Amino acid sequence: MPEIHQILKQYWGYDQFRPLQEDIINAALAGKDTLALLPTGGGKSICFQVPAMAMEGICLVISPLIALMKDQVMQLQKRGISAIAIHTGMNRREIDIALDNCVYGGVKFLYLSPERLQTDIFRERVKKMNVCLLAVDEAHCISQWGYDFRPPYLQIAQLREVLPDIPILALTATATETVKKDIQEKLAFKQENVFQSSFARANLSYSAQPAEDKINRLAEVIKSVPGTGIVYVRSRKRTVEIANELLRRGFKAAPYHAGLSFEQRNQTQTAWLENRVQIMVATNAFGMGIDKPDVRLVVHVDLPDNLEAYYQEAGRAGRDGRYAYAVVLFAPNDLLEVREKVEEAHPPMETLRKTYQALANFYQIAVGSGEFVTFDFNLEELVKTYKLNPLETHHSLKKLETEGFLQLNDAYFSPSKVYIPAGKEELYKFQVANRELDPLLKLLIRMYGGELFTNFVKISEHSLALNLKATQPQIVKMLEFLDKSGVIVYEPQHDKPQVLFTTPRYDATTLPLNQKKLRSFRGLALEKADSVVRYVQTENRCRTQLLLEYFGEISDESCRICDFCLKQKKRKKQQEEFAQLEKQLLEIIANEPLLPKMLAEKFPAKQRETLTDLLRKMLDSGKLKYLESGELVVRK
């Protein structure tokens, strides 16, 4: 078995592990079920990637976010490690080939969404795989007491029946005591085993600032903190409005949300990563899986739904260990709105049924069909077609997702891909019979190699067109004809949101909604919203201590850098200055009574305002008194 420090150095270039990483890795290598809680930027992926590289076989990684999966797969491939992902948007043939490669092709990491665990094609193939480790990323999603519960995560325990002796490593950045217990129970841990680093971030200064005019206050905050930052808002519309206002004020700002095209998002993200854009104004999806350690500032202009989400989003600042700032701006009406948002996010039963019916009708899915079928999704068209309320529909779809009836994925870019299922003899016969397509087929093989016959390979229609001196539409038309002829399988690029039905379609009237559970979720969401309100309104506690307490970590030590601690430090410094000034003042007056003006002249100009305040307090307390001449003396 290769030594873990050697693996870390060879593939990641690091000489040593971060705190807790080595302990977590050794627990996985010893075959122990393990729950690891590490803060955002704490190096969670290393904890399963290194032990998997030290073991024989494939590591299954369950992750809820396509963007995160694709990013990690790309990072592993750059390091020369064989990794693939199976996600919504791949057709059955593509999935079939990917799973075959996991059984026979030496793939080291297979990333997949929890929904895929339920499919027959996966459950049959996984039995043939030599699995060495099961990693569950964002493990809080398995707990109904967490802030992002996803029912398909509950299928992981069933996977353990197929892989009874394979250790499981669950990872998350945030979990309360209740959620920690729930994760281990739902994943059928053989025994409790938790590694948890402190939730405290020694370099992150938290603050909550009341602000009637948020834009002005935001501009002041950005001016005071040099470096790149993220401004989080609730809606896509707000990202554009605030980014434009910051641009007008001279800041290099840009909006980022799922409604932008892949090209726009990619260009904006790259500009921000390269520091050509200073401030990214974004919805909360931005930042997940993006490795930018030098973010100096994260500002929430709208209150987050809960402290778990806030901790993760704020934690994207200062991952390089240098000082960074996490600021919440709030107005009085925000404190009422945060509860109203929760009410909006939990629509009544009849609204859920109506939305489900509209969605099924929109895609013409018959009752009993549609399971694991993916469709391009356009909320605007759905709302317009059935005259629905957009906000109500959005929340209803999210709730139907939480209930396990469907999965929604934001727009993500999937490039064009080609696979050649035809054998070489069959292909040759086709080329002879279709000489006008022969140059394209030869070019495909020359440009993309023999892997075309074993796997889907990313292609560029633009490059093919340049090489053949044709137009891109002509190339697309030929590829589509080859696909219809069965010679190739051609998957054109797409960049649209997707909806996946995770169960056969129900009759909306018999949709098995659990009313008791939905009411419980609503109550829990309201409690979490109240915790956010308490956090921003509290003025007499260290903010880090408040967050730690929420996650069940009690600490008597203040962070010394949050807004409360800095005020305390300033107050203490003022008290020390007052005491020193008072001592000097008493020594002067003890020798000779003086008029206030003459007394002030004996001190530097910068101390005179403080001196005026001190004199007033000393007169009020009776330490000094005025003579009839107007001079000050020490009262005996």
State how beta strands 168-172 and 131-136 pair.
parallel
On whether the CB atoms of residues 326 and 205 are closer than 8 A, the answer is: yes
Structure tokens at 502: 């995770």
The number of residues in the chain equals 636
Whether 109 has a pLDDT exceeding 90, the answer reads yes
Q: How far is CA 357 from the centre of its chain?
A: 31
On whether the CB atoms of residues 123 and 72 are closer than 8 A, the answer is: no
**Which of 109, 87, 177, 191 minimizes the C-alpha distance to 140?**
177
Q: Please, where are the H alpha helices in 292-437?
A: 307-314, 332-344, 349-362, 379-386, 390-402, 424-433
On whether the CB atoms of residues 271 and 203 are closer than 8 A, the answer is: no
78-87, 219-228, 504-513, 514-523: which has the minimum mean pLDDT?
514-523
Which pLDDT belongs to residue 411? 64
Which pLDDT belongs to residue 636? 75
Alpha-carbon distance 425 to 600, whole Å? Answer: 102
**Which of 550, 537, 547, 523 minimizes the C-alpha distance to 335?**
537
Counting beta carbons within 10 angstroms of the beta carbon of residue 87, is it exposed (0 to 12), middle (13 to 18) or buried (19 or more)? buried
Q: Is the pTM for the entire model greater than 0.95?
A: no
Whether 223 has a pLDDT exceeding 90, the answer reads yes
127-131, 240-244, 279-283, 491-495: which has the minimum mean pLDDT?
491-495
87-101, 198-212, 540-554: which has the minimum mean pLDDT?
87-101
Alpha-carbon distance 7 to 49, whole Å? Answer: 10
Render pLDDT for 27-63 as a digit per residue (tens, 0 to 9): 999 999 999 999 877 789 999 999 999 999 999 999 9
Whether 275 has a pLDDT exceeding 90, the answer reads yes
Which pLDDT belongs to residue 607? 85
CATH architecture, domain 4-196? 3-Layer(aba) Sandwich (3.40)
Residues paired with 297 in a beta bridge? 229, 325
Which pLDDT belongs to residue 1? 58
DSSP state of 491: E
CATH level 3 topology of 563-634 = Arc Repressor Mutant, subunit A (1.10.10)
Structure tokens at 398: 């999210």
The DSSP secondary structure of 88-119, one letter per residue, reads TT--HHHHHHHHHHHHHS---EEEE-GGGGG-
Give the residue, 376 or 534, on which the prediction is more confident. 534
> What percentage of the chain reaches a pLDDT higher than 90?
63
Average confidence (pLDDT) over 441-462: 91
CATH code for the structural domain at 204-330+525-550: 3.40.50.300
Alpha-carbon distance 316 to 576, whole Å? Answer: 36
> What percentage of the chain reaches a pLDDT higher than 70?
99
The 3-class SS string of 139-151 reads HHHHCCCCCCCCH
Alpha-carbon distance 297 to 229, whole Å? Answer: 4
Edge-to-edge strand list for the sheet holding 489-491: 457-458, 417-419, 489-491
Whether 89 has a pLDDT exceeding 70, the answer reads no
Whether 413 has a pLDDT exceeding 80, the answer reads no
Cα separation values, 600 from 16, 108, 196, 582, 621, Å: 59, 76, 57, 13, 20
Alpha-carbon distance 359 to 416, whole Å? Answer: 28
Average confidence (pLDDT) over 11-30: 95
Tell me how many helices (H) and strands (E) the chain has. Answer: 25, 21
The top-level CATH class assigned to 341-413+496-513 is mainly alpha
Q: How far is CA 596 from the centre of its chain?
A: 60
Task: Kindly give, in sequence order, each residue whose CB lies less than 8 Å from that of residue 601, ignoring residues fewer than 6 positions away.
Answer: none
Alpha-carbon distance 513 to 510, whole Å? Answer: 8
Average confidence (pLDDT) over 14-38: 95
Which pLDDT belongs to residue 65? 80
Whether 114 has a pLDDT exceeding 90, the answer reads no
Give the residue, 279 or 338, on which the prediction is more confident. 279
On whether the CB atoms of residues 424 and 454 are closer than 8 A, the answer is: no
Cα separation values, 373 from 112, 331, 527, Å: 16, 44, 36
Whether 265 has a pLDDT exceeding 80, the answer reads yes
Whether 305 has a pLDDT exceeding 70, the answer reads yes
Which pLDDT belongs to residue 454? 83
**Which of 46, 68, 39, 64 minimizes the C-alpha distance to 174?**
39
Which pLDDT belongs to residue 356? 97
On whether the CB atoms of residues 313 and 477 are closer than 8 A, the answer is: no
Which pLDDT belongs to residue 412? 63
Residue 395: pLDDT band by 50, 70, 90 thresholds? very high
Structure tokens at 625: 């008194």
Q: How far is CA 34 from the centre of its chain?
A: 22
Average confidence (pLDDT) over 409-433: 84
